[in-house]
Amino acid sequence: MGYAKIRIRNLAKMGEKSMVNSKHAKLEDVAQLAGVSKTTVSRVLNKRGYLSQATIDKVYAAMKELNYQPNTIARQLFKQKTNMVGLIFPTVNNPFFGQLVAKLENILYERGYKVLIGNSQNDPQKEEDYLNQLLAHQVDGLIVGAHNRGLKEYQHANLPVVSIDRIMNDDIPVVSSDNYQGGKIATEALIAAGCQTIIHTDGPENLESNTSKRQQAYEEVMRQHERIPVTYNLDFNISTAEKIKIFRKIFEDYPQVDGIVTSNDTDAATILSLAPLYNKKVPHDLKIIGYDGADMTRLMLPHLSTIQQPIDKIAEVAVNLLEEKISGKKPSSPPPLEVKFIKGLTS
């Protein structure tokens, strides 16, 4: 009889647990099963204050048994943190931005963040729309490599932002590689190779970005060697067909061109494909040096000479700065990161 009573009581307890498991378990259910207070369970979840390992283990064992899922939204509101970071870049179709975004996402994921990505396509309206969407999701911060400046959303006093290359305002740190050194190395390499007429392609003239230092370096080196600098500035949002027209114009305006420093590797690849149409053999008649050196480009065009940016390092530094800003610090822009000249068969 005593055995029967015990068995009935045990079945009753099992029934209580199954009833809890049949519905969404609550924090008080975990507290009751673990034999602790609701406050203690909350402290375990939020890792606040001193707790013995035995207490922590009891709480987690109860959570597992009840299949308890913490109310993530409530915890985020309590902590005023969503663990989400927004990334806004022109396009992941470019090998440089593609590798950079992939590395940023990987580092952020490893540090416990979810990532929302917006491709602005160099369109100010699209960038503003993405910004508003990200702010609505209450992201903890932004890492931005888009080309537009002056959007009021970037002035949000409580929004941690880190920029890649783009100069946005005095409160936003900028992560860059050494663009001046990259432009200098490329220009000097072509001069040392005997090139007389060296053309440079770059982004728009009015762009407030550290990348403009490449053009500055090119022009200074050319003048130091008593050469006339010529730069073709291209808008970011023009089509491939429009770019090809401009690159053709280089060959038509300067048939004697024997050296070109491009603003990125994809432009270098396009110019390489056009050279034979103007009876230019690379590197005998025309030497070309690209810029970026992304992994995918190196795989597809291993023969291309290029200035390689430390893309993975740029991502790491940007995430470190963003976490500093999220924690309430006010980091300044770090020193430029070192670039590397990879000499291939095109220079």
What is the per-residue pLDDT across 244-270, written as a single tens digit (0 to 9) for each? 999 999 999 999 999 999 999 999 999
CATH of the domain at 91: 3.40.50.2300
Q: What residue ranges of the chain have pLDDT lower than 50?
A: 1-22, 73, 76-78, 157
> C-alpha angle with apex 124: 333 to 118, nearest 5 degrees?
70
From the CB of residue 327, how many other CB atoms can be counted at a distance below 10 Å?
8
Residue 335 lies in a domain: no
Q: Is residue 347 part of a domain?
A: no
Instruction: Clarify whether residues 246 and 143 are in a common domain.
Output: no
Structure confidence at residue 63 (pLDDT):
86
Judgement on whether residues 185 and 298 belong to the same structural domain of the protein: yes
Tell whether 200 and 273 lie within a shared domain: yes
pLDDT in tens, 61-120: 998 888 887 655 455 444 557 788 989 888 878 899 999 999 999 999 999 999 988 776
- Give residue 235's Cα distance to chain centre: 22
Which residue, chain included where needed, has tokens 């602005």?
120
User: How many independent structural domains does the chain possess?
Assistant: 3
Inside any domain, residue 238: yes
- Residue 58 sits in the same domain as residue 142: no
Q: Is 289 helix (H, G, I), strand (E, B) or coil?
A: strand
- Per DSSP, helices labelled H in the chain are 2-22, 27-34, 38-46, 53-66, 72-79, 95-110, 124-136, 179-192, 212-224, 240-253, 265-274, 295-300, 311-326
Specify the pLDDT at position 15: 47
Amino acid letter, 126 = K
Range of the domain at 296: 179-310
Residue 204's pLDDT is 84
- Position 121 scores a pLDDT of 58
Q: Which of 61, 78, 95 is the last residue of a domain?
A: 78
In a domain, 332, yes or no: no
CA torsion 105-111-114-117 (nearest 10°) is -30
The verdict on 156 and 183 lying in the same domain is no
If asked whether residues 43 and 11 sit together in one domain, one would say: yes
Q: Are residues 135 and 228 in the same domain?
A: no
Give the separation between CA 85 and CA 141, rounded to whole angstroms: 5
Among 47, 78, 109, the domain boundary falls at 78
Q: Is residue 148 part of a domain?
A: yes
Q: Please answer whether residues 306 and 265 qualify as being in contact, where contact means their C-beta atoms are separated by less than 8 angstroms.
A: yes
Q: Does 338 fall in a domain?
A: no
Tell me if 292 sits within 8 A of 230, measured CB to CB: no
CATH number, residue 61: 1.10.260.40
52, 201: one domain: no
Domain boundary among 27, 45, 78: 78
187 and 294 housed in the same domain: yes
Closest-CA residue to 266 (of 288, 290, 231, 283): 290
* 207 and 285 fall within a common domain: yes
- The pLDDT value recorded for residue 110 is 95
End-to-end CA distance of the chain: 96
**Residue 295, helix vs strand vs coil:** helix
Residue 83 is predicted with a pLDDT of 87
Q: Are residues 211 and 294 in the same domain?
A: yes
Same-domain status, 13 and 112: no
pLDDT in the model for residue 77: 45
Percentages (nearest 5) of helix, strand, coil residues in the chain: 50, 15, 35
In a domain, 333, yes or no: no
Examine residue 12 and state whether it is found in any structural domain, yes or no: yes
Contact 58, 34 (CB under 8 A): yes
pLDDT score recorded for residue 206: 74
Distance CA 190, CA 256 (A): 15
Tokens of 305: 């000479």
CA dihedral 279, 281, 286, 291 (to 10 degrees): 120
